[in-house]
Amino acid sequence: MRVFLRLLLLMLLYPAIARAEPAILLAEVYRNGIDPADYLISEKLDGVRAIWDGQTLRFRSGNPVHAPEWFVRSLPPTPLDGELWAGRGRFERLSGIVRKDVPIDEEWRTVRYMIFELPDAPGDFTTRAERIRYLTATANAPWLQAIEQFRIDNRASLQRKLEEIVRGGGEGLMLHRADAPYLTGRSDVLLKLKPWEDSEARVVGHVPGKGKHAGRLGALLVELPDGRRFRIGTGFSDAQREAPPPIGTTITYRFRALTASGLPRFPSFLRVRDDP
């Protein structure tokens, strides 16, 4: 009987163990006054985070990415961290492709795996960036690419580069300290710079619409990790108002600043969090 109970417990626990979130590096927000000369800089891609452990490709949540066999066959045995990406402004289409349990080859031919980190690799980030360029160049897989890393000497040039990226449809910039060892967790060795800020919240309710939105979603009631709640009423497409993110879903929203009470000012829906 005890053996049976142990087996039953393992069966119940195994899915949670199998999908444990991998330890990854998460960015802080860039603050005015930081000298960009100490960083390697890249474009912030609007893709889906994916981690390759040498055998399996997983989302940030720990769930497997159901990519075609040919897509992962040419990936090196070296662990990789990057973004599945289909080009600027194509997040919704990309998300629909990579979330399918049965991958469609034609769709995946438009997807690239853009690498920006080597988990647990030795050396500073400058060394790891050089290694990334070598690995992607020798993998014989056109869909495996290194995110371009470049230097910017001063804050004025950094601002001009940000404006150039945003004008072209990009989201912003990432700054990674050139001398940083490999780290995990949220750290200021990695910074994100955007014309707006973004964060995440959990959907706890649907507020009915009025006027032109009568009969469909008016706003999402969302909750922050500390339990505070607020509404998000903008940023939705007509399709999203007809079929809003379910209660319990984690969404990403953008905002301009915080109010005196610490809540986001003018929050706008951006997307469902990019990992299933």
The pLDDT value given to residue 10: 40
- The Cα 196–Cα 258 span in angstroms is 11
The pLDDT value given to residue 276: 56
- The Cα 243–Cα 259 span in angstroms is 30
Could you give the domains of the chain?
A: 25-193 (3.30.470.30), 197-272 (2.40.50.140)
User: What tens digit of pLDDT does each residue of 247-261 get?
Assistant: 999 999 988 778 878
The pLDDT value given to residue 15: 44
Q: Which residues of the chain have pLDDT under 50?
A: 1, 3-18
Q: What is the pTM of this model?
A: 0.75
The pLDDT value given to residue 94: 94
The pLDDT value given to residue 249: 93
User: What tens digit of pLDDT does each residue of 60-107 get?
Assistant: 999 999 999 999 998 999 999 999 999 998 988 999 999 999 999 999
Q: What is the DSSP string of 33-48?
A: T--GGGEEEEEE--SE
